[in-house]
Structure 1
């Protein structure tokens, strides 16, 4: 392999695919990136067997030549060293030349590196997905869905299926749900498809989605999403992002969402978030960050916290309306702040079904997104 490439383009591609490279692995070749030069350009691949990212740098883009390929070929180079080297090269023109024993010369200006390479034939092959189960989502919508759900996945491996976001589709709508058994995040969105697509129990690891979200900032075209029984592929302009799916049946969370409520409070989301943030300063992390919420008046609610070792805080927050019964409830302040940030709404409604039942937060007059939180039992 022998080629000349623009440093900034090469560096961005290396950074993109390196997101899939594990810092620790028992398979030495997976510490590397596979580089393959061919007639269409240079393809870079990174993988840790759970996530795989493939990025194409075309010969030219927008009328600008990005690569000159003198000789096709491939090699696997250590991802960390390659990334550090490319980042610090002195000029924007980089030459890569691979010898028959995979020793790779990287030259830029007066700097010249020789990096030991590995046999690309030993690198795991990416799956070829040709499933009929495919649909399309705008990149910005997909990123919003990830932001509004993935934070609620479980961090505990005791129930692996809960470390992912459950995707299901019916009648042109995608529903994404995440829960760690103490809270639940749900987002619905309409999608585009070439056929009548219906599926359920497609559980994508939360880590995969968070890494995918980092690649979506530069995307403007719709993202193609392809499903098989064990893999999901997110295909963008020059990037293919593969993730394995989690095994196991995702719990039926629909029965957890109350259909009726006894108390409904409407308020300004920013004011409420800031009040909870202040009250949480005295909430003990080892005691579930408990905040007490009291709704007894038509114009304000009380938010308070008490720690015997530190002190107490109380604040009244103006509300837009109170409907139904008076209420006293305690909850985890972190869960509520996470939910409010994910909703990204100026005005929200909180619906309660009792002091010891799950409650719902949702934007006013919008039913595509909701957050559900279990209260905390206090003595």
Structure 2
């Protein structure tokens, strides 16, 4: 293989596909980037076998071929090169990068051992659903923090996406909390339901903030989820396990106590309390919230120090003492851009419903911690 490529464009393509790559000591070859010349273009592919990202670029192909290379080292080296155009020359499992004043060699892996990724050739019209990419990036940011980060329970190691009745819904839960986000979706009347692995969400989120494309298209076929973002193709497995019955949790009623508080003030209080409770061995991130009259008191007790925050608030209901995870509350608050937050309660051992003021399409439900006597 002999190629002449634009250095910055080559770097850009590496950074795109590497978002699907994880270190794999059992099968080291998938820890690297695969590239191949075909259809007069240079194609790139990164995969961890559950998520695959591929893209391509134009270049001058002097000799066809394919290669698997250690992308981190190549990327680091190319960032220090000033030439706009470089030559890639592969000879006897060695990649030679030639510039106007240097030549560097990199050992390659056997490209024939790279797994064959079966990507069906989907036509544009087969991608049934489309969203503005920046909207989708915002949706993911507002929802992904409450998904389970552990692969021990795959049914919640994901974000649930549902399209039905002219609504698009995003749901995540780790069983201790649940986040629900809903928006209008009028482009398609088909019902669509899928659980997307959180690793796929993380990779896509990074791509959505870059590039000039305005929309991302997606569809599902043969238990695979396909995304198309310009000339970037993303293929992901789906979680083929039942997602928890979130509707029962959302429809729960009986909330008879209501706290309304300015978001920025609440965030500052919680951040200060978090300093004291983040390493608490008995109840990590747990703090005591006492609501009475028009006041809120938050008490955090650490191993060697404690703190108490008191503020006047708009509270309606009987006096209440409840233990909540400060980190969980902060993650919702920091995803909001509204001025005021509403928290609704029933008892000290019942779920707490949190929303932005006058915004019913974004709901956060968090379970309380055990109160110590």
When the two structures are superposed, what TM-score results if normalisation uses the length of structure 1? 0.89
Q: Is 2:287 the partner of 1:291?
A: yes
- Say if 1:282 and 1:117 are closer, same or farther in 2 by CA, change over 3 A: closer
CA contact (8 A) 1:271 1:317 kept: no
Q: For 1:232-243, what aligned pairs fall within 5 Å after superposition? A: 232-243=225-236
Q: Helix, strand or coil: the match of 1:335?
A: helix
Q: Is 2:100 the partner of 1:109?
A: yes
Q: How much has 1:281 moved relative to structure 2? A: 2.0
Q: How much has 1:17 moved relative to structure 2? A: 0.9
Q: Distance in 1 between matches of 2:238 and 2:365?
A: 25
Q: Distance in 1 between matches of 2:327 and 2:121?
A: 40
Q: Deviations over 1:92-148 (max 9, x none)?
A: 21111234x453321122221233434545432242264957311111111111111
Q: Is 2:300 the partner of 1:305?
A: yes
Q: Alignment partner for residue 182 of structure 1, among 176, 186, 191?
A: 176
Q: Alignment partner for residue 205 of structure 1, among 197, 210, 217?
A: 197
Q: Distance in 2 between matches of 1:134 and 1:119?
A: 38
CA contact (8 A) 1:169 1:199 kept: yes
- Quote the residue 1:54 is aligned against: 54
CA contact (8 A) 2:344 2:354 kept: yes
- Quote the residue 2:239 is aligned against: 246
- Quote the residue 2:31 is aligned against: 31
When the two structures are superposed, what TM-score results if normalisation uses the length of structure 2? 0.90
Q: Distance in 1 between matches of 2:244 and 2:126?
A: 26
Count of paired positions: 365
- Say if 1:311 and 1:6 are closer, same or farther in 2 by CA, change over 3 A: same
Q: Is 2:359 the partner of 1:366?
A: yes
Q: Deviations over 1:324-354 (max 9, x none)?
A: 3332211011111111112332211111122
**Structure 2 residue ranges without an equivalent (≥5):** none
Q: How much has 1:246 moved relative to structure 2? A: 1.8
- Quote the residue 1:79 is aligned against: 71
Q: For 1:1-379, what aligned pairs fall within 5 Å after superposition? A: 1-39=1-39, 41-57=41-57, 59=58, 67-99=59-91, 101-123=92-114, 124-128=116-120, 130=122, 134-191=128-185, 193=187, 195-200=188-193, 202-219=194-211, 220-257=213-250, 258-283=252-277, 284-286=279-281, 287-298=283-294, 300-307=295-302, 309-319=303-313, 321-379=314-372
Q: Distance in 2 between matches of 1:16 and 1:133?
A: 21
- Say if 1:102 and 1:172 are closer, same or farther in 2 by CA, change over 3 A: farther
**Structure 1 residue ranges without an equivalent (≥5):** 60-66
Q: Distance in 2 between matches of 1:354 and 1:173?
A: 32
CA contact (8 A) 2:163 2:185 kept: no
Q: How much has 1:357 moved relative to structure 2? A: 0.8
Q: Helix, strand or coil: the match of 1:305?
A: strand
- Say if 1:37 and 1:23 are closer, same or farther in 2 by CA, change over 3 A: same
